[in-house]
Chains A and B, each alone.
Chain A
Amino acid sequence: MNSTIAVQESRRRSLWAGLWLLGAVALGGLTALNRPLVGVSLYTVMAIAAIMMWRGYSGTLFDERDASIHRRASGYTLGIFAIVSAIAFPLLTALYGLGLFTWGTWTTASAFIAAGTFTIYAVVTLVLSHRH
């Protein structure tokens, strides 16, 4: 691999991230602008383009270091989410018990998402611990 290919590798990695970002922005932005189907279409096109670009690259675009970074990032993200959830939801429940808070659509959905996330985490941890 010469420096030109190394630059190509770097550009393709940026393109990969850019396509997913553009797809996500298109999905969110166009949905907010009441054009959900256009948003989904653009997201799908960007996602397919990103996957085709990745599959069509003959070199190594992502490797064990990327996997390691993603593992650490996932761990930190889940850790932050756990700390926030462990404080926020009992506090909101206490406030609800005191009549100072009402569970609305968003807070209820957030609570279920948190519960669902950690249920999945517990199940995956259990399965992996049996395999290793």
Chain B
Amino acid sequence: MKNDLPSRRTARGLSQGDLGEAVGVTRQTINAIERRRYNPSLELAFTLASYFDCQIEDIFHY
């Protein structure tokens, strides 16, 4: 599943660790999502969308 998490994250000047801490996951998980090696749970996808103040489909593209 494609996503534009890296661009949204860097636009806010956040490291992967920063974003992980903000949404309650590890830096490795953010890294894995950005590299499309891991699809987040629906709960985490909602948390990320809420954090970036957008819809899930704005971040994740199937």
Contacts and interface: CB of A to CB of B under 8 A. Distances in A.
B15 A61 contact: no
B54 interface: no
B51 interface: no
Contacts of B44: 64
Interface residues of A, number: 17
B24 interface: yes
B20 A1 contact: yes
Nearest to B27: A6
B25 interface: yes
Contacts of A59: 21
A3 interface: yes
Interface size class, chain B? 10 to 19
Interface string A1-35: 11101100110010000000000000000000000
A60 B24 contact: yes
A13 B40 CA distance: 20
A68 B38 contact: yes
A65 B33 CA distance: 10
Contacts of A2: 15, 17-18
B1 to A, nearest CB: 14
A116 to B, nearest CB: 32
A9 B38 contact: no
B15 A60 contact: no
B26 interface: yes
Contacts of B17: 1-3, 5-6, 9
A60 B25 contact: yes
Which 10 residue pairs spanning A and B have beta carbons closest together? A1-B17, A6-B17, A1-B21, A63-B25, A65-B29, A6-B27, A64-B41, A63-B26, A1-B18, A65-B38
6 contacts: A2-B17, A6-B20, A9-B26, A10-B27, A10-B28, A65-B32
